[in-house]
Structure 1
Amino acid sequence: MAYFERLGAARFRPTEHVSGAWDESTQHIGPALGLLVHAVESGLAARRGDPMVISRLSYELLGVVPMDAVDVAVEVIRPGRTIELVEATYSHGGRTGIRMRAWLQQSRDTAAIAGDGFDPIPPPDQMEPWDPTTVWRGGYLASARVRRISDGPGRSRYWVRTDVPLLAGEEASTTARMAALFDIANGMAIRADPTAVHYPNIDLSAHLVRPPQGAWLGYDTRVTFGPGGLGLTASVIHDESGPLGTIAQSLTVRP
């Protein structure tokens, strides 16, 4: 069973693997983030023949979405020959739950000057398996395979993968499949017991320097709670070839 089943050209039904960690009657937004990338990439392939790659994904989480059919819409906001800005929305019953904007760029060869300043993390086989359902509810977290090193409250290094397809009967890119795992970061470096403190994120921004490869997505994550109800989950993300970008999530912290 996949995360979603297609009901029409722009309508999708979530499966049990999408149920949320805070409330199982609502969707975990993780799979939706991947579905929106798939929609943007499908639209790109339909309207132009030259390849482009995603450099930034910015999601605004406007409200919870029930475990029910949703509609996805895609619009090109800023067309261009080498750079485009595309917007996608994820709606239920005419109400938008997620709004995403994606910057896409034409790829060019910069291998001769490539480099990064991020710290490496141990590979998956050097971390112990960890079951996220010991802390979190819902089908989404149950669908994830995790290998993790916990470095104390609010800090973890870990690898995540899933064997659940993004969309039944359709091939999705590695970028779309990995985007469906981006939002897992907020639950992997636990700063406070989630039965005592709720800290859902209200947005997510991912910046990528190259498309991800392989099945595993690695994270070096730090969670910060401020003194006035605000929080931040910040991650450097990796595949098995090395660092590939960053993810930031703004939190509302509610004891």
Structure 2
Amino acid sequence: MNDAYFTREGPGCFRPTDLVGGGWDPNEQHIAPVIGLIAHTIEVDRDSRGRNELQLTRLSCDILGTLPLEAVDVEITALRPGRTIELVEARVSHAGRDAVIARAWLSHTYDTSTIAGTTLTSIVPPHEVSEWDFGSAWPGGFVSSLEVRRTSATPGRATAWMRTDVPLIAGEQVSATAAALALVDAANGIAARVSSDEVLFPNLDLTAHLVRAPEGEWTGVDTTVTFGPEGAGLTQSILHDVSGPIGAVAQTLTVRPR
């Protein structure tokens, strides 16, 4: 058993452990921890430039292809530097081939606590939900590393809580935001409409919007999966921590009957 999802081998080089093994193919990287790695490297770059007052409010990842369980390089570029907002790009590549291109908006923090609020409702807290054997539905090291508590689900609809005691990167402190974003891609499998034995439905992208940084070890998803009639699909989730909603995630699906 490994003690982290990734180990750092250089300034922008990271090697996955077996715990990054994917649900569609255990010999390929699950994109969830890769997305967490992207968020972490964006925040490390931000801090290295002395822009700690900027918060990550959106991360949009386009998935260009699969990644083997081999070292990857992550390159960060500030496309639109600024005092109050920045647009940052991250590229994850393997052997010179881009596999994920992500763009993130970073925005300045302000005190808006007196007007904060939402009409979104909280979901049942994790201590009131039974543990679910996620590994009975999906293979791979990443799924096996998670503790998942799921409410009674119907095809394409579920609420669930996830946490892991596996560090994202060996020996590195990671923010609560990056740690949460390393889990949320699992929503597509937690609320599957049909068995993966019958239909392939991998996501081509993932976009997360955050209204505040998460708190605590649990990340909750209130998820709906929709399949269209011609091979397209959409997974939508409201993200939660134990204090309530923190944002939303959308994943574009390619739906392919076997």
TM-score clears 0.5: yes
Moved over 2 A (4+): none
Within 2, Cα distance between the matches of 1:174 and 1:119? Answer: 22
Which residue of structure 2 aligns with residue 244 of structure 1?
Answer: 246
Which residue of structure 2 aligns with residue 15 of structure 1?
Answer: 17
Q: Out of 228, 231, 248, which is 1:229 matched to?
A: 231
Displacement, 1:51? 1.4
Q: 1:6 to 1:50 in 2, by over 3 A?
A: closer
| Matching residue's letter, 2:155 | P
Deviations 1:134-177 (A, max 9, x none): 01000000011000113311000110001000000111111111
Within 2, Cα distance between the matches of 1:50 and 1:198? Answer: 41
Within 1, Cα distance between the matches of 2:51 and 2:88? Answer: 16
**Structure 2 counterparts to residues 59-74 of structure 1, below 5 A:** 59-74=61-76
Q: Out of 115, 119, 122, which is 1:120 matched to?
A: 122
Deviations 1:90-149 (A, max 9, x none): 100000101110000010011111111212200001111001110100000001100011
**TM-score, scaled relative to structure 1:** 0.99
Within 1, Cα distance between the matches of 2:121 and 2:113? Answer: 20
Which residue of structure 1 aligns with residue 28 of structure 2?
Answer: 26
| Matching residue's letter, 1:240 | V
| Matching residue's letter, 1:89 | R
Which residue of structure 2 aligns with residue 206 of structure 1?
Answer: 208
Deviations 1:195-228 (A, max 9, x none): 1111000000000000111100011000000000
Within 1, Cα distance between the matches of 2:51 and 2:42? Answer: 14
**Structure 2 counterparts to residues 38-49 of structure 1, below 5 A:** 38-49=40-51
Displacement, 1:190? 1.7
Displacement, 1:75? 0.3
Within 2, Cα distance between the matches of 1:19 and 1:50? Answer: 33
**Does the CA contact (< 8 Å) of 1:146 and 1:158 recur in 2?**
yes
Q: Structure 2 stretches of 5 or more lacking a match?
A: none
**Does the CA contact (< 8 Å) of 1:150 and 1:189 recur in 2?**
no
Which residue of structure 2 aligns with residue 152 of structure 1?
Answer: 154
What secondary structure does 2:91 align onto? strand
| Matching residue's letter, 1:107 | T
| Matching residue's letter, 2:24 | W
Which residue of structure 2 aligns with residue 132 of structure 1?
Answer: 134
Within 2, Cα distance between the matches of 1:100 and 1:213? Answer: 24
Within 1, Cα distance between the matches of 2:49 and 2:176? Answer: 21
**Structure 2 counterparts to residues 50-89 of structure 1, below 5 A:** 50-89=52-91
**Does the CA contact (< 8 Å) of 2:46 and 2:52 recur in 1?**
no
Which residue of structure 1 aligns with residue 107 of structure 2?
Answer: 105
Displacement, 1:183? 0.5
Within 2, Cα distance between the matches of 1:50 and 1:35? Answer: 18
**Does the CA contact (< 8 Å) of 2:22 and 2:140 recur in 1?**
yes
Percent of paired sites with the same residue: 52
